[in-house]
A and B are shown apart, each in its own frame.
Chain A
Amino acid sequence: MKTLIGAVTSVRAQILVGAALLACLVLLLVMSNHTGQREFRELKQALDELETQNIRMDGSIFLLAFEMHTDFDVLTAQQKDLRETALALASILPDGERAILAPAERKLLMVEDFKSEQSILRNSRAIAHEMIERLWTGPGVDSPATRDALFAVERAFLDFLARRDPKAANRLRAVLENPAVGSAVTDLEEWDVLRAHSLNLIDYIDRLTRLMQSPPFIELPVAIFEQNARLTARLAETSAAASRYRSALFVVALLLLAFSAVMVARVRGYLQAIARANNDLESRVARRTQELADVNAALRREIAERESVESQLRIAQKLESIGQLAAGVAHEINTPTQYVSDNVSFLSAVWKDLTPVLEDYERIALRGEADPARSRRIWSEADVPFLSKEVPAALRQSSAGLQQITRIVLAMKNFSHPGSDALQPADLNRAIESTATVARNEWKYVAELTLDLDPDLPLVPCNVSAFNQVVLNLLINAAQAVEEARPKGELGHIRVATRTRAECVEISVEDDGPGIADAIRDRIFDPFFTTKEVGKGTGQGLAISHRVIHGQHGGTLSVEPAPQGRGARFVIRLPQGRLEERGACPALTAADAM
């Protein structure tokens, strides 16, 4: 067994063996169950039915024969039922027509005969008896001969009815045919009727007796018995066959069981192997996962590095712009410093010029040494009217110069606001003003800058330092664009505007430079994309700006068609309110932006 199954190695072969065993099992099961059992039951049922019907019919015959039953309806219905059952049996029983239907038909004919003869017999007996009664009340009954004759007839008649045997029949016939009796009876009509019916009775009782003894009466039950016996024999045969099938069934079931056991063992082996493979797989997966985690960490490090590089880049850019701006800022500061310095020198000289006047005043006022001529000389030498006109002017100018310096320094401070990366509510107008101031040197020689700032602009969550950088980039780009385009000696125009929109604020930077060609419109926010000559830009400005506005602020930075149809228009939209609560900031159409 073991070796046999051992030999069956392929999965397909195993399935085949299992299926074959199972098919065998099912086949044997069916064979052991259905070998003629149903057919047998059906036949047996019909035979039993027929037997019962026959017994019932016989019962009716006896009831009628003994006149306990007087109508033939029940018997007739039983005949009909029996015929139907016999016909049905004839169709399902082998040889049924001959074995069952024919005896049944013969019996049914016999029953018909019985009905005919029984009804005649009844009448003849009743009528004969009635005639005897009539003769006893007849006119000749007073004669002893007549009475003797009547006694003889009645006695023979009743004797025959009681015995119903040939002897009694012969005695009755002898009395009826005795001429002495016949001549003694006077009522001839009754006598004739009595004779006829009595003879009829003898005849019919004999016929009925022979009928009841005739083979058809017993033939049908015998046929039913024989068929039942044959059926039982066949059942024994089939049940023997079924038992053989059951034995085979048992063997096959055992085989199947053994096969299943081996298969189960084998499957368990497979399952263990799978479990082992699984464990192996798990460790490999763990290893792989670790590797992936490592790679992931490396990647994250790289990203962090990149971010740091980027932030360094941003700082570098900022430094670059600061560096770029530094010269301008220095110049901006230098001019007021120059004239403040000049004014201070002037005021020092004035102070020297005014010293004699003050000394003269001391002599006159404190010491009382009045000398009008000297005083007049000193006053004119000092040229006080000139001084009293120039000194306030110089002071005013210096004050303005210092204010200018203070403003630039403040703007510088604002611009380079180190701050944190966190977004804090900020006044963008002020940020724009500062940036414009800081970058003044960049644009003032090429363009007129218009700040069209919305005085009601709300505070917006913003990293001011980064925002400044963006505005600066845009301003410098605008200035460079305008510079490219403007005719010599003419100033271009740059316009920075702020507006409050439904969910956001909008900052636009427009110039009337050459604008942005459609071909490059899609690329201008790419890192390292630049149209500037080598050394004039790193190509990082707009890319960084884009990242700052989109990534850090959740806003948009887009380039839109300029209102006059020429030049460039950059629009920053920043969401209002707190960052986490801000709604969508729909990109406005150019038309809306106007």
Chain B
Amino acid sequence: MLLPLLAAALLSCSDQHSRSDFAAYDFGMPEPPAAGSITPLPPPPPADPAKVRLGKALYNDTRLSADDSISCATCHDLGRGGDDGRRYSIGVGGAATAVNAPTVLNSSLNLAQFWDGRALTLEAQVAETVQNPTEMGGDWSVIERRLRDDESMVEQFARVYGTRPGRDEIIDATATYLRALVTPDSPFDRYLRGDAAAIGDGARRGYETFVDLGCISCHQGRNVGGNLFQRFGVMGDYFEDRGSLVAADYGRFNVTGREQDRFRFKVPSLRNVAATAPYFHDGSAATLDEAVRAMIRYQLGRPADDEQVERLGDFLRSLSGELDESLL
């Protein structure tokens, strides 16, 4: 706002085409107001500890899958940053998923779930993932029967919900657990809170680079992303370069059917990003460095040197927080 007005004012009164004149009239043009665009993680919402414990048990329970082979934790391993480190995950029966598994950490802070944002709530996400044939392939009636045959489960559900294990309660408990999976107190959050020594010089300069290059336009807010959808390949045709287009590449278009949503994906949170390789919906970037370079190329369409990329890496690594041990 200020910038164009100022520019117009300057232009209207200056006929001498001298760049140094501009420098003389440099009132200290404001930097893009990026500082403060990233905010520390809020604490997880208060929840019934028994419900969270039950959710944790369900999260790790293979009985939620069709053939009793995989659990949520199989593809969203909290020990691996909340995903499985694979390009595509392997669902029941060995089928590969269409997209890379996103992390469950801080997922409750995203505006929607899945890369294409088709689930508006964690409950909807759990419900879909459990019964998705290429993921867990579960049948709710079978799952209910399995859990109802388990005395310990029956007892836990009775204590938490006062009912027998049922679809809605399973989903609710699991979603409650997922909401608890928040990773506060990353070095960068501590830095934001005023602890200047929490991050190193590289990370601090990396943050400046993150702002200067424009990464922060999309990766902002408490979750450093996760609150908008963005087209993949703003400044370059990523998919043409990669080749072999598949349906999943259409992203949000698959949900809304709107042309402007083609190739749009939920901007992923960069929290704990260092632990969630490979990157992007197709897992095409094996390392953080690769991912950063791809982002700069396709999203920012600008030059960046190796040092900047390295600093960005330092900054991104400072976004890794801690999960409460009781949740592991």
Contact B111 A79 (CB under 8 A): yes
Q: Which residue of B lies closest to A134 (CB)?
A: B303
Stretch of A69-77, A303-311, A340-348, A386-394 contacting B (4+ beta carbons < 8 Å): A69-77
Q: Is the CB of A159 within 8 A of B33?
A: no
Expressed in whole angstroms, the Cα–Cα distance for A136 and B217 within the complex equals 25
Q: Which of B191-250 contact A (CB under 8 A)?
A: 214, 216-218, 220-223, 227-231, 234-235
| Known contacts A119-B228, A159-B8, A193-B303; A70 and B1 CB within 8 A of each other | no
- Nearest-Cβ distance from residue B73 to partner chain A, whole angstroms: 28
| Inter-chain contact A116/B301, CB cutoff 8 Å | no
The residues of A that contact B32 with a CB separation of less than 8 Å are: 67, 70, 122, 126
Stretch at the interface among A148-156, A401-409, A417-425, A550-558: A148-156
| Cβ-defined contact, A155 with B36, below 8 A | no
Q: Write out, one digit per residue, whether chain A residues 180-204 have a CB within 8 A of any chain B CB (1) or not (0).
A: 0000000001100100110010000
The reply to whether B8 and A71 form a contact with Cβ atoms under 8 Å apart is no
CA distance A96 to B81 in the complex (A): 43
C-alpha gap A60/B33 in the complex (Å): 16
* Minimum C-beta distance from B22 to chain A (A): 8
B98 at the interface (CB under 8 A from A): no
A residues 485-537 in Cβ contact with B at 8 Å: none
Contact at B214–A127, with CB atoms within 8 Å? yes
Question: Could you tell me if A159 and B11 are in contact, using CB atoms closer than 8 angstroms?
Answer: yes
CA distance A459 to B7 in the complex (A): 143
Interface size of A by Cβ–Cβ distance < 8 Å?
A: 45
How far apart sit A112 and B300, CA to CA, in the bound complex (Å)? Answer: 20
Q: Which of A67, A71, A193, A196 is the one whose CB lies under 8 Å from B221?
A: A71
- The reply to whether A162 and B8 form a contact with Cβ atoms under 8 Å apart is yes
In contact, A150 and B260 (Cβ under 8 angstroms): no
Interface size class of B (residues with CB under 8 A): 35 or more
Answer yes or no: A20 CB below 8 A from chain B CBs. no
Cβ contact within 8 Å between B230 and A119: yes
A70 near B4: Cβ-Cβ < 8 Å: no
**Chain B nearest CB: distance from A371 CB in Å?**
158
A189 vs chain B, min Cβ distance (A): 6
CA distance A360 to B243 in the complex (A): 203
Interface residues of B: mostly helix, strand, loop or mixed? loop
Contact A116 B229 (CB under 8 A): yes
B227:A127 contact, CB within 8 angstroms: no
Q: Decide if B17 touches A72 in the complex (CB within 8 Å).
A: no
Distance between Cα atoms of A119 and B234 in the complex (Å): 11
In the complex, A5 has a CB within 8 A of chain B: no
Is B37 among interface residues, defined by CB-CB distance under 8 A?
yes
Given contacts A123-B300, A158-B7, contact A109 B256 (CB under 8 A): yes
Task: Give the nearest-CB partner of A211 in chain B.
Answer: B260
Shortest C-beta distance, A310 to chain B (Å), equals: 88
Contacts of B302 in A (CB 8 A): 127, 130-131, 193, 197
Contacts of B218 in A (CB 8 A): 119
Q: How far is the CA of A383 from the CA of B120 in the complex (A)?
A: 169
A-B interface contact total, Cβ < 8 Å? 114
Check A161–B229 contact: CB distance below 8 A. no
Contact A161 B4 (CB under 8 A): yes
**Contact present for A162 and B301 (CB under 8 Å):** no
Asked whether, in the complex, the Cβ of A70 is within 8 Å of the Cβ of B36, the reply is yes
The reply to whether the CB of B294 lies closer than 8 angstroms to some CB of chain A is no
Q: For residue A382, give the distance in angstroms from its CB to the closest CB of chain B.
A: 144
B301 and A197 contact, CB distance less than 8 A: yes
Which residues on B sit within 8 Å (CB–CB) of A320? none
B285 within 8 A of A: no
Q: Does A113 contact B (CB under 8 A)?
A: yes
CB atoms of B228 and A147 under 8 A apart: no
Docked-complex contact A80 and B37, CB < 8 angstroms: no
Q: Is A120 in the interface zone, CB < 8 Å from B? A: yes
**Max chain B Cβ within 10 angstroms of own Cβ: one of A70, A83, A109:** A70
State which of B37, B214, B216, B264 has its C-beta within 8 Å of the C-beta of A116. B264
A246 sits at the interface (CB 8 A): no
Say which residue of A73, A120, A151 sits within 8 Å of B234 (CB atoms): A120
Give every chain B residue within 8 A of A150 (Cβ-Cβ).
19
Chain B positions 137 through 176: 1 when the CB is less than 8 Å from some CB of chain A, otherwise 0: 0000000000000000000000000000000000000000
B214 x A126 contact (CB < 8 A): yes
Q: Give Cα A197–Cα B228 distance, bound, in whole angstroms.
A: 21
Cβ–Cβ contact A141 & B19, under 8 A: yes
Do A112 and B221 touch across chains, with their CB atoms under 8 A apart? Answer: no
**Cβ of B301 and Cβ of A72 under 8 Å apart?**
no
Taking A70-B220, A127-B301, A141-B19 as contacts, is the C-beta distance between A76 and B111 under 8 angstroms? Answer: yes
* B19 and A136 form a contact (CB under 8 A): yes
Most buried by A among B214, B217, B302: B302
The B280-328 residues at the A interface (CB cut-off 8 A) are 300-303
Within 8 A of A (CB), among B3-17: 3-5, 7-8, 10-11, 17
The listed residue (B3, B19, B39, B223) touching A161 by CB distance below 8 A is B3
Tell me the nearest residue of chain B to A128, going by C-beta: B302
Residues of A within 8 A of B275 (CB): none
- Kindly state whether residue B34 has any CB partner on chain A within 8 Å: yes
* A123 to B231 CA separation, bound complex (whole angstroms): 14
Task: State whether A73 touches B222 (Cβ < 8 A).
Answer: yes
Contact with B along A536-551 (1 / 0, CB 8 A): 0000000000000000
- Decide: B8 and A76 in contact? CB cutoff 8 A: no
Which A-chain residue is minimally distant from B215 (CB atoms)? A123
Q: B7 — which chain A residues lie within 8 A by C-beta?
A: 158-159, 161-162
| Residues of chain B with a CB closer than 8 A to A123's CB | 214, 217, 300
Contacts A73-B222, A131-B302, A197-B235 supplied; 13 other A-B pairs, CB < 8 Å: A67-B1, A70-B33, A70-B34, A70-B36, A71-B39, A71-B220, A109-B256, A116-B231, A123-B300, A159-B7, A161-B7, A162-B7, A196-B235
In the A-B complex, the 4 residue pairs with the smallest Cβ-Cβ separation, listed nearest first, are A158-B7, A162-B8, A123-B214, A161-B4
Provide a sorted-by-A list of 23 A–B residue pairs whose CB atoms are within 8 angstroms. A67-B32, A70-B34, A71-B37, A71-B39, A71-B221, A72-B221, A73-B220, A73-B221, A73-B223, A112-B229, A115-B228, A116-B230, A116-B231, A119-B228, A120-B231, A123-B217, A123-B300, A158-B4, A159-B7, A193-B301, A196-B235, A196-B301, A200-B301
- Chain B residues proximal to chain A, CB less than 8 Å: 1, 3-5, 7-8, 10-11, 17, 19, 32-34, 36-39, 111, 120, 214, 216-218, 220-223, 227-231, 234-235, 256, 258, 260, 264, 300-303
